[in-house]
Structure 1
Amino acid sequence: MEGYRAEESLGFYIGSVRSRLINALDVKLAPLGLTSAQWLVLVRVQARPGCTAAELCRCINTDTGSMTRMVDRLEEKGFIRRVRSQEDRRVVHLEMTEAGKALYPQVIPPVVDLLNVHLQGFSQEELDMLIGFLKRILANNEISFSGS
């Protein structure tokens, strides 16, 4: 505790990296008419067709109001659509439209380019270790908050 310095802490660095990646991704995706937050929703809907907004909220760790606005915008742009469940009319599933499916491959190159720039100088082994460390932090978070 005595040696703790916020500006030198892991949390500070993780937050700074996240913030800078989001800002840079917003710039990279602007020509495609997307924000980084909308991109994340598209990625999840592509990976899990038929998911619900509530599932996305848990996955992305965002509130329902923000998610509703993002889904509204992506629907207005014609990239995703809401589909009522046939089994339970209260449930609304999300799926990619043809326009969304066509857009998706265009989104990958700017994202990969951005990550490659930020990961310059890292060996594959170092990258694998970094990802492993971050996964461990996330797993520890799940364990520590599963009982609350």
Structure 2
Amino acid sequence: MTFTDSTFYPETSPGYLVRLIHQMNVAAVDRTLAADGLSATQWTTLVSLYFGHADTCVGLARKLGHDKGAMTRLIDQMEAKGWVSRQRDDADRRLIRLSLTPAGAATAIAAKRKVIDCWNGFLADWSDAQIAEMIAVLQRLRTTMEEKMAEDSDPCAA
């Protein structure tokens, strides 16, 4: 299928649908983790540190699509809660490396279980094959977009 003026509208736009799903996910995770004093943004940051996706404020901001200043403030809050620690890099004293504390790792794992339950609830009526297909399609879309973003000055050019 190629999009045209007559077939491209919000309910068929991949970008709109992904954004809407993301917004609903953030709202659901915020509600799920509220009693633990944890927001969806804090959780995604903890998980990113846990899985080694980044280990600096700049790296996390880039990975999670946040403003660098907002990420620094978020890390300040998480450090105050005892979830994250900062250490100067031995090789480059200008860099400050972030790591999870034992309490941060425990918080990430406990929250992960709640988020898993949340997604299992959303997908309760889906078959294993449907879930696997959705994940495969989203991973393929991510790969395609990463490749286009890396190779083209205008990744949206036809």
TM-score, normalised with respect to structure 2: 0.85
Tell me the residue number matched to 1:101.
105
Count of residues in correspondence between the two structures: 148
More contact order relative to length (CA 8 Å, sep ≥ 6): 1
Give CA-to-partner distance per residue, 1:67-97, whole Å, 9 cap, x none.
1121111111110011111111101110111
State the Cα distance separating 1:2 from its structure 2 match. Answer: 2.9
Is residue 2:31 matched to residue 1:14? no
Identical amino acids, percent of aligned pairs: 30
1:141 aligns to what? 145
The answer as to 2:127 corresponding to 1:123 is: yes
Counterpart CA distance in 2 for 1:2 and 1:48 is: 42
Q: Which consecutive residues of structure 2, in runs of 5 or more, have no partner in the other structure?
A: 154-158
Matched, 1:112 2:116: yes
* Structure 1 stretches lacking a partner, 5+ long: none
Mapped partners of 1:73, 1:112: distance in 2: 25
Q: CA deviation at 1:10?
A: 2.4
Q: Which amino acid aligns with 1:2?
A: D
The alpha-carbon distance between structure 1 residues 131 and 63, as it changes in their structure 2 partners (threshold 3 A), is same
CA RMSD of aligned residues (A): 1.7
Contact 1:83 1:92 in 2 (8 A): yes
Higher helix share: 1
Counterpart secondary structure, 1:2: coil
Mean Cα displacement is larger for which, 80-89 or 60-69? 60-69
The 3 A distance-change label for structure 1 pair 119 and 49 is closer
